Amino acid sequence: MMNQIWNALRDHHAAVEGRAILELFEDEDRAAVFSACADGMLFDYSKTNIDARGLSLLLDLADNAGVAAKREAMFTGVKINETEGRAVLHTALRNLDVPVIVDGRDVMPDVRATHARMQAFARDVRQGRFTGQGGAITDVVNIGIGGSDLGPAMAVLALAPFHDGPRCHFVSNVDGAHVHDVLAGLDPTTTLVIVASKTFTTIETMTNAETARRWMAAKVANPAAQFAAVSTAAEKTAAFGIDAARVFGFEDWVGGRYSMWGPIGLSIMLAVGPEGFDQFLAGGAVMDAHFRAAPFADNLPVLLALVGVWHNQICGYATRAVLPYDQRLSRLPAYLQQLEMESNGKRVGMDGADLTMNSGPVVWGEPGTNGQHAFYQLIHQGTRVVPCEFLIARIGHEADLRHQHLLLVSNCLAQSEALLRGRSLDEARAIMAKKGLTGDELDRQARHRVFPGNRPSTTLAYEQLTPFTFGQIISLYEHRVFVEGVILGINSYDQWGVELGKELALALQPVLEGKAGTEGKDGSTRQLAQWFKG
């Protein structure tokens, strides 16, 4: 059945490929029909070439892929991460009241206990009961990488209007410049360092942690007293000198890129407080409830996923641009790069057989309006079609700068309209004729000013970027990844693709140190290693 639906979608796309999206708006109800709302959010996908027939087929695809059953399995603790034999329960971290059974045991008492410990520690730090050698904590440095860094770093920036705790900084890159530059402006005697590594063995994280400890030891008698850890490796954190009271663990059913809802989000809680963090969790839980209950035709995560499938697997568009018109969401595209590309960047299905179609797209982007003066040129007039996903708040936080927010909104709406409408050669000729050009020069200049248009986009609009709304947005995108993964028949929750490079890096380090030879290496790697050895 799935093959029949895929084929029907391809046939339908072939039939409508040359159609102008703008023609679809001859139906006055199109915008309302091809939109969905949930808890203060509006998702408008009417500026795509999806019509009633296409939407019907896409909904059939979700139905026949078993999205509903797999969704329930995920929420109820079934081990849907089959290659690692694990449940997928990041949703449990933001819905603290409902029992969830894994291997015959309710995991929620432990989740609630850890959450309460995080709250107590955050309050102690924020209220000056936990201090550094020099007094109250003024700065927090979170050391992690990947999911232990991207989520919290993005969230702390996104929630800047709600900061009322210590300043939070993030170190991830093993490049010494990163940790050096972050620590350079801080006072070791009033700095708390959080080391975020589930195993406490991640080489980049632990290398930076050792550097931070040496930096702190220069002025602090017992630097480990100003360290906390997000880790399950109790013996290793103890060996590092971190008191067990400041170690916050989480289960293996929380993947790194889905983990900021729990202990990985400690830096977020320190920045905005336990109450603000709980609002973030509440927003995620509300989107979870919507995802579980809403019919597919009105379900924001399902619709967002189906639009993605239409553009990538059916239309063949290899990338998608995420364009938040919200400066504080400037790290969202980078976060979604990891969330989507690490989750759905696979080449085999759950059964181990090669995929017969492309998996996840390349995800990229920057905030508007900066991007308008950079890569929008390619989006509007380049030879490749790039589906765009706009995000915009109705209300900004800076009430005294409302005129700037209106300018921001007008730019966002104008860009999606320009992608849709374009500018014809006749229109461009008329513009150049008004400038006094004639003949061949008029035609030549006009051609440079043609916009093909007919380029798809979606818009996610929300009231204001609050902790609650931010939780909704992140949960929405998590579930979008899940739905796309189920439709493609892949495991969105492993990441074996990161392993080989790690293994080879460990083997190359002694080569660069002169402790091992380059036997078995290719000629390029041997040459490069020799060059770096000097």
Consecutive H or E run containing 168: strand 167-171
**3-state class of 515 per DSSP?**
coil
Q: 341-367 burial, b for 16+ CB within 10 Å, e for fewer? A: bbbbbbeeeeeeeeeeeebbbebbbbb
Q: HSE-up of 125 (CA within 13 Å, CB side)?
A: 34
Q: How far apart are CA 43 and CA 461, in angstroms?
A: 6
**3-state class of 47 per DSSP?**
coil
Describe the crossing of helices 266-293 and 150-158 by its angle, rounded to 10 degrees.
90
Find out whether 122 and 248 touch, Cβ atoms under 8 Å.
no
- Token output for 349: 């299905």
Question: Looking at residue 85, what DSSP letter applies?
Answer: T
Q: How far apart are CA 301 and CA 296, in angstroms?
A: 9
Which residues carry out catalysis?
Answer: 342, 373, 502
**3-state class of 230 per DSSP?**
strand
Amino acid at 348: V
Find out whether 318 and 312 touch, Cβ atoms under 8 Å.
yes
**3-state class of 41 per DSSP?**
strand
Q: What angle do CA 327, 328, 331 make, to 5 degrees?
A: 95
Q: What is the DSSP string of 359-382?
A: -SPEEE---TTGGGGTTHHHHHHS
- Token output for 7: 């084929």
Find out whether 107 and 88 touch, Cβ atoms under 8 Å.
no
Q: How far apart are CA 81 and CA 104, in angstroms?
A: 18
Tell me which residue of 474, 478, 428 sits closest to 448, measured CA to CA: 428
